[in-house]
Structure 1
């Protein structure tokens, strides 16, 4: 009996212990722990996408000792540095670059095959962002605002954000170049703004977005913010300390009209009348400063990052491209431009800290392409390089086809390394387009400045998986591209003998920076090869939204927390 009672008591105690344990397991964590979990898994209030036009990766390392702690180095030290990021298609131009960053795919799919290209259906050249169905807003009777993203065939990560948030998440695009604002902002953006340098130097837009400039833009323009930069452009620091670049006023640099040489200082107020008015700012470091001013005004004017739906600010710094084209990638001017851009980034990041809150926003920074060293400079160092002449090249091909097929009208257009055949003439003469492609391929390979040639027939019948052939094919759009694609020798460009350019599939054009920073981003770095098309899927994964509808890239998992 006593044993029975004892067993009963022990059973009750055991049941109570089990019950207490279950209660302990089901008790919510402390409030602080719950907040930490929410913070770690919630979405950022604002994403800022930064594209620096024509930025080589080595600008991060060449000028590192002169950067401060609040711009590039803040992102590098506290964020994630993808040190081996490349464009994976040809051609590496501004329009295709911006489209590829934001769509997560290449021209093969998004259709922006160049900045301008020959439209074989309407028989004329078209611009990647021009749209005559719309009017300029902010400037009267000018073509400058007649822009839209209609030639971009796929969605962007910014479009997907608008779709996912039922249009509550705002998307704003900003750049001095119209295409640098329009393409990243996507099809469904709340607004895109670009710089119009004639007259007063205002920021404008298109009726695609709105019929009237928002109050904050009107206020910015009315303040004549561009006027303060029509000053003397001199180096930020002692020019003798700029040991990371070539001598000032070298023979490899272009200059402004009205100035005998390319040497600091530049009196912009006196030079502006001969250089497009306020447009002169585009080719100086101050163009980036003005862009930063306007981006800060947008953050405040649009109340970005102020509610529970993620907003997106797409900013492109265009002046780095203008400076690179004019002065070259090894100039004192390009060094000063990046040192000043570093200060502008610090200002922008400080504004984000104050307006959105540190830890509440995510930034990525990359480039739309890089650039080649000035070939004449390389030649003087005995490094293989050269210049390609377009007009005699076209005349040679016309003569060849006339001799071979009895007509010099078989080519409609040559542009961006592509030859567009005249299929009406081919049909009239009852010729084979494939035979002409093959004949041109054989002839082009005899040219001493052309290294590779591929035909439309080859791209339609084969899938190339590596090398230049694969990068060409990713840039080849079946409807929009030409019939024969050719690749110039390394460091050979169709350009002036001063200044730098881009467009190839070689490392000097494809290798760009890629930095991530802020909410949801790990700290670290990698030398693993990353594709530019991986950016949009990475941001999509961070935001837990659908990938852009034709994305071919993959999320960079090592960048993301959790």
Structure 2
């Protein structure tokens, strides 16, 4: 056995102690990705993706093309709910929650208990500031049952600002959420205002903006085609018999305010159905960025700008029209100017852009019919009369159906009970009568919508639109190329078909977002979780989508 000196033993002990005390240093924490100072959501009301890609060769270099050429964009993005309308789409964008969770089943609906009309952002407890407030006006987000990305941000950072701006109340209020601030265009005065839900009085900068009467600057201004006539060969010519002839007329060039002596409420309303409505909305958005110092105060902010004019144009003339085609090109140039303003004011490396739409658009039925397709208009009033007449003949009770509500037919369940009727029998009979009507493809009962059948076509989509506390008992799906229409002109949307649910989903932001087209199918409920990931925030609690992981 070897002999050790005292010094040797002490040396061994010291070495062992030092070895025990030394540890491998922990790996350095992964660097956190940069976070944008400002998130900007641009929503184009009523814009199908097919119009963006179909006119790509005519776009300006830095409008939509900023996303297509230098951003990350999804060419197969869809809403997965069945009733594709403005309020539902805007409620999904920054919440990630479909109407089955958010409660925003449509622009308006009937109260199932009383049959009374309900507006999606209506709240009689609040009024517009410095402007008249009509019954059912949109004044608060009370009906929105879920939180938005802005609510998540302001809960964590009360100093952050979340501002929603739109030509429509619902386009401003729903993306702004419960803790943001909404400003919307007033069709009677040409001003932008807010409601007493958000504040007691308008900020001075808003008063100054309105005092300058910027809407009046467009009085008698001409909407002229942006390109030579030959550039519109892929669109339907002006003046078609199914185009709405009132408003600004149905041909270009068109004078906004023609045959008027001065700006009137009718002029202010007509302004929205022209390129000048978006131009005015973006002017207000610039004022908000400057005066609220969005993205420039050391905290993260969110700005949502919903541009409404394309929807009005498509409703009046259809997306197949030259007027819609030309409107998109004007909009593209307005977006280019707005993006370049943000580059200068906020800094191109300090913000992220996302652009989408609340729904697509179906071609006008007459245009589709001219192409040999089965197409038509489903008129609510005569259809209701037919169903009620049939139900009265069968059950001996008048007006068992209250009326159409959102995507469905609302039956008077209380009246059926008072008359001793079996409601299941009434519902089955009403469904049978609806299926006889021209243009009706499917009718789903409340029991089907609350069930778990995932194989019946369009049932799952309608289920995502169905809130049993607000929706009608019977939900209706029209045939392709058919629209629900209260007038014999123009077109609409609201179906579960691709024409209405396939929309742009475009992102741009150097350092935050990669580049290139993504052809994988995604859903619009992914937008809110994706922006949350970029912002370094948790996704809204009721979001049904996922983070698309755009970071480069």
Establish whether TM, by shorter chain, passes 0.5: yes
Distance 1:448 1:322 in 2: 27
The number of equivalent residue pairs is 532
The answer to whether structure 1 residue 210 and structure 2 residue 210 are counterparts is no
Q: For the residues of structure 2 that align with 1:358 and 1:257, how far apart are their CA atoms? A: 39
Please state how far the C-alpha of 1:505 moved relative to its aligned partner: 0.5
TM-superposition CA deviations, 1:327-374 (whole Å, max 9, x none): 211222111211111111111111111111112111111100011111
Q: Deviation per CA, 1:468-496, whole angstroms, max 9, x where unpaired?
A: 01000110101111111121111111223
C-alpha distance in 2, partners of 1:253/1:222? 35
Partner of 1:502: 493
Q: 1:375 aligns with which of 345, 361, 365?
A: 365
2:62 matched to 1:70?
Answer: yes
Q: Deviations over 1:293-316 (max 9, x none)?
A: 111111101000013321000000
Residue 488 (structure 1) aligns with:
478
Stretches of structure 2 that go unaligned for 5 or more consecutive residues are 1-7, 9-14, 16-21
- Cα offset, 1:245, TM superposition: 1.5
Structural RMSD (CA): 2.7
Distance 1:328 1:487 in 2: 20
Question: Contact 1:62/1:244 (CA < 8 Å) preserved in 2?
Answer: no
Picking from 107, 120, 140, the partner of 2:112 is 120
Q: Which runs of structure 1 show a deviation greater than 4 angstroms over 4 or more consecutive aligned residues? A: 25-28, 140-146, 271-275
- Counterpart CA distance in 2 for 1:439 and 1:145 is 36
Superposed counterparts of 1:295-306, under 5 Å = 295-306=285-296
Residue matched to 1:85 = 77
2:211 aligned with 1:254, yes or no?
Answer: no
State the partner residue of 2:97.
105
1:196-245 deviation line (CA, Å, top 9, x unaligned) = 1324x111110111111112111111122112222111112223322231
Taking the TM superposition and a 5 Å limit, the aligned residue runs for 1:7-156 are 41-139=33-131, 147-156=139-148
Aligned to 2:257: 269
Aligned pairs for 1:156-171 within 5 A: 156-165=148-157, 167-171=158-162
Which ranges of structure 1 fall in alignment gaps of 5 or more residues?
Answer: 1-7, 9-14, 16-21, 29-33
Match of 2:467 in 1: 477
Deviations 1:100-132 (A, max 9, x none): 112101110100111010012343111111111
How far did residue 141 of structure 1 move?
6.2
- Tell which deviates more after alignment, 313-322 or 250-259: 250-259
Paired residue for 2:168?
A: 177
Q: 1:274 to 1:214 in 2, by over 3 A?
A: closer
Question: Which residue of structure 1 aligns with residue 209 of structure 2?
Answer: 220
Q: Deviations over 1:122-177 (max 9, x none)?
A: 43111111111012113256669760000011101111111122x12110000010
Correspondence for 1:406? 396
For 1:554 and 1:27, the matched residues in 2 are separated by 29
Q: Deviations over 1:247-292 (max 9, x none)?
A: 2222232123585xx2112121324568712221100011111111
- Give, in whole Å, the separation in 2 of the partners of 1:119 and 1:516: 38
Once residues 26 and 153 of structure 2 are traced to their aligned partners in structure 1, the CA distance between those partners, rounded to angstroms, is 36
Q: Which moved more, 1:244-253 or 1:85-94?
A: 244-253
Q: Is the 8 A contact 1:449 1:488 kept in 2?
A: yes
Mapped partners of 1:533, 1:271: distance in 2? 45
Shift of 1:62: 1.6
Question: Which residue in the other structure is 1:553 paired with?
Answer: 545
Distance 1:271 1:553 in 2: 50
